[in-house]
């Protein structure tokens, strides 16, 4: 979970741009925009903070927040919660933009530049659900580009399916395995990515 806290000065100037690192596949992230009314005389009424420019790879719980009143020389907070999709392309910059304005017509913009972090290691995850019928999801991660194969074997070691056989970029990957055509029982799935190899078991129950 990542919390980004920004202070914005209503009738002021936004601060310098910062790049924020986010982990693909995470939930419960937050952006907290603290809006400060720098006037020492006038209140700010109905300050609306809107998510103006979205990202394909972020899913927000809310895209607007209204602060009914910010008294003179006071500040209030607008909070936006979001998750980062697992398929976000790693080591590539993205951006979102908020607009902040009140009934007097004062308006300012705040852009967030985002970087989606690559995983730090190769890893094959346990499939879910497990046991399964008839479909399950297999997830894995690549810290760098690699030649990847993901194969399914029966309990006797015979190959029954090839799910992946290609070069893939770094990132968080997932693939569905549909076992409609296969009999109930224990199966083995094996990931190889260049020199990395890992094997796990899964149970099909029909």
The per-residue pLDDT for range 16-71, each reduced to its tens digit, is 568 899 999 999 999 988 888 888 888 888 999 999 999 999 999 999 999 999 89
The per-residue pLDDT for range 185-194, each reduced to its tens digit, is 999 999 999 9
Q: Which domains does the chain have, with CATH numbers?
A: 3-116 (2.60.40.2310), 123-204 (2.60.40.1930)
The per-residue pLDDT for range 161-182, each reduced to its tens digit, is 999 999 999 999 999 999 999 9
CB count, 10 Å around CB of 23?
17
Q: Please report, for the chain, how many H helices and E strands are present, in that order.
A: 0, 16
Mean pLDDT of 154-167: 97
Q: What is the pTM of this model?
A: 0.83
N-to-C CA span, the chain = 37
The per-residue pLDDT for range 82-137, each reduced to its tens digit, is 999 999 999 989 999 999 888 777 678 888 899 999 999 999 999 999 999 999 99
The structure tokens listed for 185 are: 């029982």
**pLDDT value, residue 13:** 39
Residue 89 dihedral angles phi and psi, to the nearest 5°: -70, 125
Q: Is 37 exposed, middle or buried (0-12, 13-18, 19+ CB in 10 A)?
A: buried
């Amino acid at each position: 979970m990542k919390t980004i806290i920004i202070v914005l000065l209503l009738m002021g100037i936004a601060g310098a741009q910062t790049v924020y690192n986010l982990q693909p596949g995470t939930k419960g992230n937050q952006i907290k925009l603290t809006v400060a009314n720098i006037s020492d005389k006038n209140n700010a009424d109905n300050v609306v903070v809107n998510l103006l420019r979205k990202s394909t790879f972020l899913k927000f719980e809310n895209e607007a927040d209204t602060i009914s009143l910010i008294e003179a020389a006071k500040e209030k907070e607008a909070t936006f919660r979001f998750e980062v999709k697992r398929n976000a392309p790693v080591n590539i910059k993205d951006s979102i933009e908020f607009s902040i304005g009140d009934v007097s017509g004062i308006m300012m913009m705040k852009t967030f530049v985002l970087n989606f972090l690559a995983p730090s290691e190769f890893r094959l995850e346990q499939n879910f659900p497990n046991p399964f019928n008839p479909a399950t999801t297999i997830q894995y991660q690549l810290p760098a580009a690699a030649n990847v194969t993901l194969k399914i074997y029966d309990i006797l070691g015979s190959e029954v399916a090839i799910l992946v056989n290609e070069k893939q970029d770094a990132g968080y990957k997932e693939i569905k395995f549909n076992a409609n055509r296969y009999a109930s029982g224990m199966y083995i799935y094996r990931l190889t990515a260049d020199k990395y190899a890992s094997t796990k078991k899964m149970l099909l129950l029909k």
